[in-house]
Structure formats: structure tokens, C-alpha cells
């Protein structure tokens, strides 16, 4: 079996070291993985130990990248998985990292739904919010929480309707545009109709 002849810190990445065996470059891994696997100069290193060290190193690197990503903006589990796959990490590494991030609560889709609803319920209807959560890969069991978190959006929708109608003549055509405007934001039929009715007083025979 090869003998480790040198462990040298990388010049460009201080968190990594280059491992040499029998005088030849063997691999570049995190210093932490070398310490965890107890690899030192003079050791014999077999294929299994090498593969375990490479896996541990990839997990540590992927975890650091994933944490940096969620520190910039909160992510769903699916978003983190896609981010790591796009970085070229294997399925085994991604699964390991995601599990660790869930344990540390760096990734928590239930909490993500709470934050997303709190942030957007004044600007987006329930249907739009549910659609966007699904696009972000949130499981349906968590999307179902939206019904519990959002009760009545009429007040928020009316504020948006008043902003849309400001300076406009509220004739039948404008009322119809208002209704479509709110519908595209994901507000339900009753909410859209309520807002249209509130702003359409005096408009004769309007239809949606």
C-alpha cells in the first residue's frame, strides 16, 4: 500500500491540503478531513481509507458552500439540493449535507413557508403564494399550511386595488382590468369581486 510521504497546505486554499504518497501527488482534500480520518505522514493508505477521506472532504466543502448560500438568502431543501448538484457534488454527498443542515435547522421548509407567507401575503394572493412555493420544491404537506396562516386577504387586496385605480376613471373597462390585475396576483374570486365592487360603485352593468 502507498505510504503518505507529505501533507502540504495548499497555497490558494488554506482550508485544504495536498496529500502525497510515495513522493507522488495523491489528492487535495480539506485539512479537517485529514484530521478526522487521522491521516499523517508515514501512514499506509488503502483505497477504502482514501475514498472515505475524499467523501468526508467533499461533504465538508459542500456543507460550507450550502451554509454560505442560505446565509445570503433563505432556501428550501430542494433549492439547496439543486445548488449542490449544480456544483457537481454526488448524490451521496448532497444527501449527507442536506441531512446535516436539517439537523442544524439551516434548512427547514416549514419555517420557510411561515417566512414566505409573512413576507408576501400583502402583495400576493393565496393561490399565487401556493404556486410559488410549489415551484420552489416545497412539499405539499407544508404548502397546506398556507390555509392556516392566511385567513382573509381582502384588506391587502383592496389596498392594491386602490393603488391600481389611482388616477383612473372607474368605468366598466377599468373595473375589468382591475379584476384581472388582482386575479393574476393570485387572489381568489371572492376577494377580487369584493375589491371590484368596492371601487366600482356608480359604474353601471359591469361584468368580470
- Give the number of domains in the chain: 3
On whether both 144 and 70 belong to a single domain, the answer is no
Strand, coil or helix: 8? strand
161 found inside a domain: yes
Q: Residue 56 maps to which CATH number?
A: 1.10.10.10
Q: Which three cell numbers stand for residue 53?
A: 477521506
Q: Is 153 exposed, middle or buried (0-12, 13-18, 19+ CB in 10 A)?
A: buried
Please give the residue range of the domain that contains residue 131. Answer: 109-149
For 109, the enclosing helix (H) or strand (E) is: helix 109-120
* Start-to-end C-alpha separation, the chain: 79
| Claim to verify: residue 25 and residue 97 sit in the same structural domain | yes
Is 81 inside a domain boundary? Answer: yes
Residues 58-81 have pLDDT tens digits of: 999 999 999 999 999 999 999 999
Per residue in 126-177, pLDDT (tens digit) is 999 999 999 999 999 999 999 999 989 999 999 999 999 999 888 889 999 9
Give the CATH number, domain containing residue 165. Answer: 1.10.10
CB-based burial label for 200 (10 Å; 0-12, 13-18, 19+): buried
The pLDDT of residue 200 is 78
Same domain, 125 and 186: no
Amino acid at each position: 500500500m502507498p505510504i503518505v510521504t507529505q501533507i502540504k497546505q495548499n497555497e490558494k486554499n488554506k482550508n485544504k491540503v495536498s496529500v502525497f504518497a510515495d513522493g507522488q501527488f495523491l489528492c487535495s482534500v480539506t485539512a479537517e478531513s485529514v484530521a478526522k480520518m487521522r491521516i499523517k505522514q508515514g501512514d499506509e493508505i488503502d483505497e477504502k481509507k482514501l475514498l472515505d477521506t475524499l467523501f468526508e472532504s467533499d461533504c465538508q466543502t459542500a456543507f460550507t458552500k450550502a451554509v454560505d448560500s442560505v446565509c445570503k438568502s433563505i432556501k428550501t431543501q430542494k433549492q439547496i439540493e439543486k445548488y449542490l448538484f449544480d456544483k457537481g457534488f454526488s448524490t451521496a454527498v448532497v444527501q449527507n449535507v442536506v441531512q446535516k443542515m436539517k439537523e442544524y435547522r439551516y434548512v427547514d421548509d416549514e419555517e420557510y413557508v411561515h417566512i414566505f407567507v409573512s413576507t408576501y401575503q400583502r402583495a400576493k394572493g393565496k393561490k399565487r403564494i401556493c404556486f410559488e412555493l410549489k415551484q420552489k420544491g416545497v412539499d405539499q404537506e407544508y404548502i397546506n399550511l398556507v390555509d392556516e396562516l392566511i385567513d382573509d386577504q381582502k384588506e391587502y387586496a383592496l389596498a392594491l386595488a386602490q393603488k391600481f385605480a389611482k388616477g383612473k376613471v372607474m368605468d366598466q373597462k377599468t373595473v375589468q382590468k382591475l379584476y384581472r390585475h388582482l386575479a393574476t396576483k393570485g387572489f381568489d374570486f371572492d376577494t377580487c369581486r369584493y375589491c371590484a365592487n368596492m371601487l366600482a360603485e356608480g359604474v353601471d352593468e359591469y361584468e368580470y
